[in-house]
Structure 1
Amino acid sequence: MKVVPPKPFTFEGGNRAVLLLHAFTGNSADVRMLGRFLQKRGYTCHAPILKGHGVPPEELMEAKASDWWQDVEKAWQYLKNEGYDEIAVAGLSLGGLMTLKTAYMFDVKGIIPMCAPLTTSENKDRLYEGVLQYAKDFKQLEKKDEQQIEKEMEAFRKRPLDTLYSINETIEDVRGSLDMIYSPAFIVQAEKDQMVELESANLIHDEIASHDKTIKWYENSPHVITHGPEKDQLHEDIYQFLERLDWESDN
């Protein structure tokens, strides 16, 4: 049985654009509900699929953070080519890390990093456990029998971990560049996050150079906060943040 791969999406809503970036081992479904919510309120939302995601997990372990950054650059350029001059960026987890990078690489209107990792001490172990679970879940979705899954998982465990190393390198690069971020920021952190150390949110808040920055903690939410029990409140909070930005298209 073939798993139908998720697709990128563009929801056209108005002159204001929001680039939405999904999590590691996630896909555009991570941010689809948020995209639809914002579209109904006049925002155009575009979400790419980062390389190696939504396809067999073996392909994920062949991708690196540099590939994902290229995908982000292409998605940014896509919006520019479509005529959107003002772009805000929101991202979950790895997407949150890439959101922070866009803030010092591009002229962004505002950023919303959600559950973004900023520490590497325990990160590789957590990432590896997450990848193994993702690989097993994907194979079960393909309706493979247990014997076949175990055989494939044994081979999967022998794969090099360059992908995970590249994430930690990016975390270090971004952390060293936080003082170059000046755009307005709404920092989102789930208190029941099982993947990212909660201290990351405070590090982002304290070390970015933005004058307009707020942090909000969601006490009942897990790591994938966009699908969590407080997602409706999250959607509204993101909308309110975007509404108070100084969009030139309104002037």
Structure 2
Amino acid sequence: MKTYSGSTFFFPHSGNRGVILLHAYTGNSNDVRMLGRQLNRAGYSVVGPLFTGHGGDPRQILKQGSPDNWWDDTRMAILNLRDSGVSQIAIFGLSLGGLFATRALEDDPGLVGGGIFASPITTWGASNVPEYFPKLAAAHYRRQGLAPELIEERLYWLEERLPDQLAAIQQMTKGLDQHLDQLKRPFFIAQGGQDEVIDPHSGAQLRDRLVAQGTPVDYHFYPNASHLLTVNTAHRQLFNDVEQYLKNLFEVGNDK
């Protein structure tokens, strides 16, 4: 059975407006490809980088991936989009990708705006990733037709090493939380009410933090949606909400 592992994509468009879309910890660039296509049709150049270690055997996420490497991937996506002639850039991320989109918005004043989809900026340590990731890995190996004993061996390897990487991500997230005051531009937040991976209240908690410090927030709650907002039942509404946010964002930017 073929596994669609995803790859970095670039959908160019005329003009100088662009969007970067970052995928989830347990996924790949296919998480955000549909959204990328819609935004490209709406007039934006769109980049969706594949994070280091993703797109194949889940063990490679732990062998090759790290917060430092994924941050390098994010910065390279920004640089490459700017090098293509795009000067007005917004950046969004799904779950893990949202952490790096937020970091980029804290660190890079040249970005126009952006935000997160189901991303636990202030509550990473309370996520269900330690249970969720091995289940997805097991499903991946079963699709490959691996023998049960080999699957068990690989899952044991994953479960032994996963806590260290999640701790490194959590440490980075604490830094994001400490620098939320750097977020001045309009910030988009999307959260599903049936999220099985993170606390469904985490989006509203972040909204309240940002609003209290004066950051403009465009908050969207999808009561019946699960974690992967870009591909689940909420995706059509999410795509429309992102489009409207971008339209407003770039209109404001042009007024300045």
Say whether the fold is shared (TM-score over 0.5): yes
Output the CA distance in 1 between the equivalents of 2:48 and 2:255.
24
- 1:20 alignment counterpart: 21
Write out per-residue CA displacement over residues 115-173 of structure 1, whole angstroms, 9 at most, x where no aligned residue. 111214433xx211122112212211222122321232233333363211111112211
- Residues 42-191 of structure 1 mapped to structure 2, 5 A cutoff: 42-62=43-63, 63-106=65-108, 107-117=110-120, 118-123=122-127, 126-159=128-161, 161-191=163-193
Conservation of the 8 A alpha-carbon contact between 2:207 and 2:219: yes
- What is aligned with 1:235? 239
Greater CA deviation, 128-137 or 197-206? 197-206
TM-score normalised over the length of structure 2: 0.90
Q: What's the offset of the Cα at 1:207?
A: 2.5
Structure 1 residues 212-221 or 22-31, which shifts more? 212-221
Q: Secondary structure at the match of 1:17?
A: strand
Partners of 2:186 and 2:88 in 1: CA distance? 13
* Paired residues of 1:23 and 1:95 also in contact (CA < 8 A): yes
Q: Which runs of structure 1 show a deviation greater than 6 angstroms over 4 or more consecutive aligned residues?
A: none
Query: Which amino acid letter does the alignment assign opposite residue 30 of structure 1?
Result: D
Cα gap change, 1:186 to 1:156, in 2 (>3 Å): closer
User: Residues 52-105 of structure 1: CA distance to partner in whole angstroms, max 9, x if unpaired?
Assistant: 111211111122111111110111111011111110011111111111111111
Letter in 2 for 1:220: N
Alpha-carbon distance between aligned partners in 1 of 2:117 and 2:83, rounded to the nearest angstrom: 27
- Of residues 140-149 and 52-61 in structure 1, the stretch that sits farther from structure 2 once superposed is 140-149
When the two structures are aligned, how many residues end up with a matched partner?
249
Percent of aligned positions that are identical:
31
- The answer for unaligned runs of 5 or more in structure 2 is none
Secondary structure of 2:195's counterpart equals coil
- SS at 2:249 equivalent: coil
- CA distance in 2 between partners of 1:143 and 1:20 (Å): 32
Contact kept, 8 Å, 2:95 with 2:117, in 1: the verdict is: yes
Alignment of 1:206-225 (within 5 A): 206-208=208-210, 209=213, 211-225=215-229
Equivalent AA in structure 1 for residue 102 of structure 2: L
